């Protein structure tokens, strides 16, 4: 970690708001980090596998505003590292105001072929890690009267064939949002954003052109969403939603109307 953030002061105190965004090296997480940073918020950028992209983003943000971004690698599936992970995130800038649980595992899981290890892998990243990150971050967030934003999915309550474990994990994340809104209120607001078809999966999970077209036909706004659409929703919940907690903001172009 010291090498990654070489040249930065690890005990820099600030009066500027600080956000920890998990999975912020690329895709939706990177856009969230960018928009919060543009709004004047300092950011702690978490990554696991996307080291190259995260380093490039961190350098870019620090060029725009010196000492405003900090890299923090971690395997969120390792529950033993989460307490120190949050402590390090809060220690760098001397505070923590915002936690965005964005890191997610999106894997196809045919019901008859799901193994216990695969089930645990998805639940650990998508639900268990956010739970304990919130637990460890709560004292810092209470001190600043901050907020938590969980990135869920419209399929949390609309099941998607062959992605059952993923849907279950996101349903749990929405319930976690509502539970923590009661547990942490009135000092900490807890909300969720539920994206629709945004930042389509890549690699082994990439959808075929025909599937993409079928999805598009079911979207009322007749376009796939962009990562920036989700980032804007997060910024709204951070800056403009003082009287919202336990809410789920659906950003899907109207797709859930047809599911």
Active site residues: 166
In the block, residue with structure tokens 């099941």:
159
The alpha carbon of 33 is separated from its chain's Cα centroid by a whole number of angstroms, namely 10
| Cα–Cα nearest to 36, from 57, 56, 51, 55 | 57
Residues in CB range of 182: below 8 A, 6 or more apart: 246
SS3 102: coil
How many CA atoms lie within 13 Å of 190's alpha carbon, on the beta-carbon side?
Answer: 28
Q: How far apart are CA 229 and CA 234, in angstroms?
A: 9
- Element at 42 (helix H, strand E): strand 42-47
Give the residue from 137, 138, 130, 148 showing the smallest Cα distance to 244: 148
The closest alpha carbon to 89, from 1, 26, 178, belongs to 1
* Residues paired with 198 in a beta bridge: 225
* Nearest-angstrom CA–CA distance, 167 and 208: 20
């Amino acid at each position: 970690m010291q090498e990654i953030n070489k040249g930065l002061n690890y005990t820099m105190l600030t009066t500027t708001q600080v956000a920890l965004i998990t999975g912020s090296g690329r895709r939706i997480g990177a856009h969230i980090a960018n928009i919060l940073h543009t709004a004047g918020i300092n950011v702690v950028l978490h990554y696991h596998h996307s080291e190259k992209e995260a380093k490039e983003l961190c350098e870019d943000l620090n060029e725009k505003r010196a000492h405003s971004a900090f890299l923090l690698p971690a395997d969120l599936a390792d529950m033993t590292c989460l307490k120190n992970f949050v402590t390090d995130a809060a220690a760098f800038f001397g505070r923590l105001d915002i936690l965005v649980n964005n890191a997610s595992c999106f894997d196809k899981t045919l019901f008859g072929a799901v193994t216990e290890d695969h089930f645990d892998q998805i639940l650990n990243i998508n639900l268990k890690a956010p739970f304990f990150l919130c637990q460890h971050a709560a004292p810092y967030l209470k001190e600043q009267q901050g907020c938590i934003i969980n990135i869920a999915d419209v399929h949390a309550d609309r099941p998607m064939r062959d992605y059952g474990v993923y849907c279950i994990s996101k349903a749990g994340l929405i319930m976690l949002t509502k539970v923590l809104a009661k547990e942490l209120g009135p000092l900490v607001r807890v909300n969720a954003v539920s994206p629709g078809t945004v930042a389509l999966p890549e690699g082994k999970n990439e959808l075929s052109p025909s599937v993409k077209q079928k999805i598009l036909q079911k979207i009322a706004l007749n376009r796939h969403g962009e990562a920036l659409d989700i980032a804007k929703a997060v910024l709204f919940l951070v800056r403009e939603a003082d009287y919202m907690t336990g809410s789920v903001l659906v950003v899907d172009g109207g797709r859930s109307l047809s599911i």
